[in-house]
Amino acid sequence: MKKTDIAMIVLIASLSIIAAFFITRAILGDSTQTERSVKTIDPITAEVAEPDPKIFNENAINPAVEVQVGASQ
């Protein structure tokens, strides 16, 4: 290849990269100009809430045992 061929390939590749950059920016927009808002969460604490006595049976041997309501066979 001649030097002019290599220079032409480099020129075409450079122009293609520049064109792709501006086309992509036109389609997707500039991300640095947009502002986003995010929700913040409350910090995690070591405090544990007591379970509701109406739901949690503290006298049960295993409160996670499956309970069948109605006639069982």
Comparison of pLDDT for 22 and 56, the residue scoring more: 22
Which amino acid, 43? P
Instruction: Please give the average per-residue pLDDT across 25-42, as a whole number.
Output: 81
Residue 20's domain comprises: 1-28
Comparison of pLDDT for 34 and 51, the residue scoring more: 51
CB 56 within 8 Å of CB 63:
yes
In a domain, 2, yes or no: yes
Provide the pLDDT for residue 73. Answer: 61
Domain tally, the chain: 1
Q: Rounded CA gap, 43 and 48, in Å?
A: 14
Provide the pLDDT for residue 23. Answer: 94
In a domain, 7, yes or no: yes
In a domain, 36, yes or no: no
Indicate the pTM of the whole model.
0.41
